[in-house]
Structure formats: C-alpha cells, structure tokens
Amino acid sequence: MEGDHREFLESLLATATPSGFETSGQRRWLEYLKPYADETRVDDYGNAVAVHEGRDNGPSIALAGHGDEIGLMVRDIDDDGFLKLTRIGGSDRTVTRGQGVTVHTDDGPVEGVVGQTAIHLRDRGE
C-alpha cells in the first residue's frame, strides 16, 4: 500500500467511531474520496455516500460497509475514580477485559485498560 493511502487508512482506523458517533469517521472517509468521486454526501439516514459516474456501458457497482465500531460508554464514576461502563453495539463483555481503551473527555483523550472487580469482592450480579 502506497504512503498516502496507508496514512489515510491508519488515520481512519485511529478515529473513534462507536455506534451512534460515526460522524468523525464519515468526514474523514468522504474527504479522502473527494478527488475520486463526482459526488459525496451524507444522506437523511446518516449514511456516507460517494458516487463515481463510470462509463455508460460499464457495470454499476456498490461498495457497502459499516462505519461504526464496538464501543463503551461511561455510565458512572465511583468514589475511587473507577469508571463503570456500558456497552455500545454488540460487544461480548468477556473479550474486553484487559483491553486498552481511549476515554474521550472534554479535556482530551485519556488512555486506560478495562478491568474487573476481583472475584472475592464481586456482588452476585457481577
């Protein structure tokens, strides 16, 4: 993959786009496609659309994909400063343990790791 395309891909993959918050990724995608597309827009349903008018006798081709990713949302901060999270999208909570995360705050991003309450300290519901 050539430099500019690789740089774009790395930039797009580093853009947070959890379900319901895809706008920044869509903007980056559409900006990248402008030189190649005859039209770029976001439709009434929030879909990012780029159109390239091909040849009259050529086939019509559509490429479709997800613009969102699995995410977590802070629902509470306990007295010790630990974040209580809720899932956005269809994530499996067992695969998030130990994963690095970026918490997006008004003061900028904060890096963290998803943990869990030690087994001997858990309530029955955890």
Contact 85, 72 (CB under 8 A): yes
| Confidence at residue 125, expressed as pLDDT on a 0 to 100 scale | 66
Per-position b or e across 107-121, b if 16+ CB within 10 A of its CB = eeeeeeeeeeeeeee
Q: Determine the 3-state secondary structure of 34 from DSSP.
A: coil
| Confidence at residue 126, expressed as pLDDT on a 0 to 100 scale | 64
| Confidence at residue 31, expressed as pLDDT on a 0 to 100 scale | 95
pLDDT (tens place) for every residue of the chain, 126 residues total: 788 899 999 999 999 999 888 999 999 999 999 999 999 999 998 899 999 998 889 998 888 888 888 889 999 999 999 999 999 877 777 888 899 999 999 999 999 999 988 889 888 766
Length of the chain: 126
| Confidence at residue 70, expressed as pLDDT on a 0 to 100 scale | 83
Contact 28, 15 (CB under 8 A): yes
Token couple for 56: 């009259």
Contact 72, 87 (CB under 8 A): yes
Give this prediction's pTM: 0.72
